Structure 1
């Protein structure tokens, strides 16, 4: 029986954004065994698909009528660009989780266009510039503003000012523009003022995260689903004009909902993966090697854990196997960034493979569309160093494993997908579902690993890296939650630790929060719990 922990939830949580609230479903997550972790987080994710009449009135989810209507409007704007690709550009933009998902989805839809024999007209912007993007994901420099030759843009970017017909919708998932928690994106919207006419601004609240504040989990999944739904529907309707936009949206959303039920059949195997991976992470480290695009999902999951859990970059390391020349911006030399940005197959073979031991675990992520002979070759190399290997694979009905490859793995999570759509866009829906299911599974691995490392109390991260204003105020609220003291007193306590001072002098109190964040970023421990 878990010990009774006095939680001071009344009052102060009402002022927090939804994503920062405590989820009652996972209040005892830190005492859950691997199977319970899988079940509890699966229950949290199911809220994404909750029908409007079943949901709380102040939570707008993907099935909410107002959200579906807004998405229908955005489809029309996207269609304008798709009908005039020579003069159109679709820009996906964001910071942190949103920026990483912008990268992933822009790449996916450019591949869709390539398969149709069309030039790419999706691009992305990750806030923060070259170094921030490299540190966050190893994926993207700050893309320059779209050139003046584009007559229409669809996206949330400052460069919309320079275009004759910008149509930028602003989308928020999980957090409202509420001080002092306002994400930087909301400040950007306010600063642009009347210079941009936003097509629509809408928010989705899918309820508190399973791990308080870890917006990569449910918020990231909802963002991925939303963007893929809108853009897939835009492509589908552009090619088949008789299709109703709203019906197309709901049809695609239903397939994502069915995808969530797929993992139920694999709960026991996922729990075994969670147990083994968690133990490796808590001891010598877990390595994940994935083929595109699952490899990108795996790397994004690893990177999200660093600020959220105060994780070491070596706790879980992801590597992208195979050719990815068409994935990254060619103008960025990732190798020149240094060994801390190692992520390629060559990096894994040269740096990691020689030092593997039986204390390490390696998880392989791939689909049966990948080069299975290449997978087998790498598995054989790894198995010479450690027997702790597992596979997470996706296949479509009619595809089969190589018998020799299957024999190499002591544990396999093999997800078989039915053929739902026979058209071109339908094939991409299935790829997106595979990515999302991979994300859901990895979202269960990370919390269990960090529970074992003592970084989660109840369902709250207590060892986070204070590297932004959002994380700064989260640290204050964590102290409020577990002490019951006022925000002012908890703020003073936090600043005392950051400034290494038992007494807060006026000059310290009057400094900008950003100044304290710069100091806190360099400290190993800040939250005194």
Structure 2
């Protein structure tokens, strides 16, 4: 295969365009499961190497937390990657706020906050804009953990920031992406004297070819949350107390068949990291958090039937010229906004086809640029102050 994995088609969903709603749900579940099972001969997300990497990055999160305000953790990306970076930064700043500790998590997204809701392609291809954004957000900080997110390892906005980080000692640069090294290629970037070398941890192809918002998005969220959660828990809680909690979940997890949760992967690899048992337990917790909804949604039972029924209603609504609205509060509503923002560039939907509404609007969102309703009518509508 000469095509990068993130741009390849998935053999599981080759006929998804002619599948029934029930069959589509089953196909998507099989694709989701590849995140945890591994893909072909590539290593699982639960491999010793991956757990070691998570541990190393979480140590740097702890380092930034210990800087007591002079440290910073920056998540940067384009499109979905930047939106997930925003959501993770928002979540962990809230946890810091609850502890009355400095809110050290920041996000950068190509095109600014408007890109949280709609595609902004031109800034994504500008490495200089990425560098300037990083300079501004990191000004006055002594140490910065920079995590650049680009699923296909092809975003010039992130590439420029990475080069800047490597030339400045106060930065700890980390790159998160999902293509194998042997498929690396050099891409000429306009108005820049560098190329972008693709290659990193690999993941199986997305259900819809090239739609990295799906499986790659899930893996990005899982990894970022695990990195930050590990850092915060290790910073603020003793390991002894955490060990008391997690063994409650592990026996519950193992009640299910291996082919359902693929829990065996978690136990086959000895963890070569500083706090291996601690990280290992957090991975189990993350596995539960991400696969339990898959189990209840994609398999049998009443929840499965409700999901299929909702699927059919959504299909009927769009076919008859109607809309799909996500309505909610806090982080779940924000996930709806992220999904709605991806439908135009990914599926050719209009801005009206799928929309999101958040209770209390921009006050809930907590984006850096605040109220954007003056920029476009659909931004006001999306972030309506009342539901």
Band of TM-score, shorter chain: 0.7 to 0.9
Q: Which residue of 2 aligns with 1:167?
A: 172
Q: CA deviation at 1:103?
A: 0.6
Other-structure match for 2:324 = 286
- CA gap 1:219/1:124 in 2 versus in 1, 3 angstroms: same
1:338 and 2:376 aligned: yes
> Aligned partners of 1:91, 1:183: CA distance in 2, in Å?
26
Quick one: structure 1 residues 235 and 183, their matched pair in 2 at CA, closer, same or farther if it must change by over 3 Å?
farther
- The alpha-carbon distance between structure 1 residues 183 and 106, as it changes in their structure 2 partners (threshold 3 A), is farther
Per the TM alignment, residue 314 of structure 1 is displaced from its structure 2 partner at its CA by 1.1
Report the count of equivalent residues. Answer: 319
1:262 aligns with 2:292: no
Partner of 1:511: none
Q: 1:211 aligns with which of 204, 208, 212?
A: 208
Once the 2 structures are TM-superposed, how far is the Cα of residue 340 of structure 1 from its aligned partner?
Answer: 2.6
1:93 aligns with 2:89: no
Q: In the alignment, what sits opposite 1:237?
A: 234
Distance 1:323 1:346 in 2: 5
Which of residues 36, 43, 47 in structure 2 aligns to 1:49? 36
Q: Deviations over 1:93-124 (max 9, x none)?
A: 11111111001110011011111122211001
Give the Å deviation of 1:330.
5.2
Task: Output the CA distance in 1 between the equivalents of 2:334 and 2:188.
Answer: 25
1:149 counterpart = 2:140: yes
Q: 1:289 & 1:91 partners in 2: Cα distance?
A: 29
Conserved? CA contact 1:335–1:342, under 8 Å: yes
Contact 1:150 1:163 in 2 (8 A): no
SS in 1 for 2:118: helix
Structure 2 residue aligned with 1:35, among 12, 22, 37?
Answer: 22
Moved over 4 A (4+): 129-134, 141-144, 161-164, 174-177, 187-193
Q: In the alignment, which residue of structure 2 is the partner of 1:117?
A: 100
**RMSD of aligned C-alpha atoms?**
3.2
TM-score, L = length of structure 2:
0.73
- Which of 103, 125, 128 is the aligned partner of 2:111? 128
CA separation of 1:234 and 1:216: change in aligned 2, threshold 3 A: same
Unaligned runs of at least 5 residues, structure 1:
1-13, 194-200, 350-377, 379-529
Per the alignment, in what secondary structure is the counterpart of residue 100 of structure 1? helix
Match of 1:494 in 2: none
Alignment partner of 1:322 is 2:319: no
Deviation track 1:470-528 (CA, whole Å, cap 9, x = no partner) reads xxxxxxxxxxxxxxxxxxxxxxxxxxxxxxxxxxxxxxxxxxxxxxxxxxxxxxxxxxx
2: CA distance between counterparts of 1:122 and 1:211?
32
Residue 17 (structure 1) aligns with: 4
Partner of 1:301: 339
> Structure 1 residue 224: deviation in Å?
0.4
Is 2:362–2:371's contact at 8 Å kept on the other side of the alignment?
Answer: no
For the Cα contact (< 8 Å) 1:320–1:345, is it kept in 2?
yes
**1:78–1:154: 8 Å Cα contact kept in structure 2?**
yes
User: In structure 2, what is the Cα distance between the partners aligned to 1:19 and 1:325?
Assistant: 35
- Pairwise CA distance, 1:344: 4.7
How far did 1:46 drift?
0.8
The equivalent residue for 1:362 is none
Map 1:393-408; keep pairs closer than 5 Å: none
Q: Is the 8 A contact 1:19 1:175 kept in 2?
A: no
**How many Å apart are 1:202 and its aligned residue?**
7.5
Q: Residues 222 and 192 (structure 1 numbering): CA distance in 2 closer, same or farther, change over 3 Å?
A: closer
SS in 2 for 1:336: coil
TM-score (norm 1): 0.55
**Distance in 2 of aligned mates of 1:146 and 1:16:** 36
Aligned to 2:264: none
Gaps of 5+ in 2: 121-128, 149-160, 241-274
Alignment check: 8 A CA contact 1:96 1:126 kept: yes
Equivalent residue for 1:81, pick from 64, 68, 76: 64
How is 1:418-437 mapped onto 2 (pairs within 5 angstroms)? none
Provide closer, same or farther for how the CA distance between residues 236 and 259 of structure 1 changes in structure 2, counting only shifts above 3 A.
Answer: farther
Deviations 1:456-475 (A, max 9, x none): xxxxxxxxxxxxxxxxxxxx
Note closer, same or farther for the CA distance 1:151–1:248 as it changes in structure 2 (3 Å cut): farther
1:323 positional shift: 5.1
CA contact (8 A) 2:61 2:73 kept: yes
Q: Which of these residues, 235, 260, 275, is aligned with residue 312 of structure 2? A: 275
Cα distance between partner residues in 2 of 1:322 and 1:118: 25
DSSP 3-state at the match of 1:49: helix
* Structure number, greater radius of gyration: 1
